[in-house]
Amino acid sequence: MSSSANDFASNPLGTSITLEELYDAFELLDDWEDRYAFIIDLGKQLPPFPDAQRTEKNYVHGCQSQVWLIHHYDKESGKLLLLIDSDAIIVRGLAAIILLAFNNLTPTDLLATDIDKLFERLDLFRHISPTRGNGLRSMISKIRNIAAAEIA
């Protein structure tokens, strides 16, 4: 479901916080315990998710946790703005990583983004459970479907 631009104004992920900063942080952190803490901290930077948007239409199926996703297509800039929320702190952090990669891109650029390359660089799938990995793929699939619909 599309939402108003105001819901997305305070989202730093993909705007003031970038993928390069994520890569730099991961390189500085020596072990996965520290990286998990960093991922959780990223999730804490997600802006508030509008309670009215916690609907079945915005629910991401395929995740172990409860996850909601909304978007706004800014016709002026041609960019897709995204918000994700979850009831699980680690999933909120993983959602933040997805937002670093996808938020504030044009739908064409979003669809061209090699998200698998990002996860390989972070070595993420080796360090999360298969069910969390499936949840990540479900979020990505829903975002890609939204981007494709905006192009159509």
CA trace torsion 136, 2, 80, 54 (10° rounding): -30
> Among 42, 63, 95, 136, which one carries the catalytic annotation?
63
Distance CA 76, CA 125 (A): 36
SS3 for the chain, per residue?
CECCHHHHCCCCECCCECHHHHHHHHHHCCCHHHHHHHHHHHHCCCCCCCHHHCCHHHECCCCCCCEEEEEEEECCCCEEEEEEEECCHHHHHHHHHHHHHHCCECHHHHHHCCHHHHHHHHCCCCCCCHHHHHHHHHHHHHHHHHHHHHHC
- Has 63 been annotated as catalytic? yes
Kindly list the catalytic residues: 63
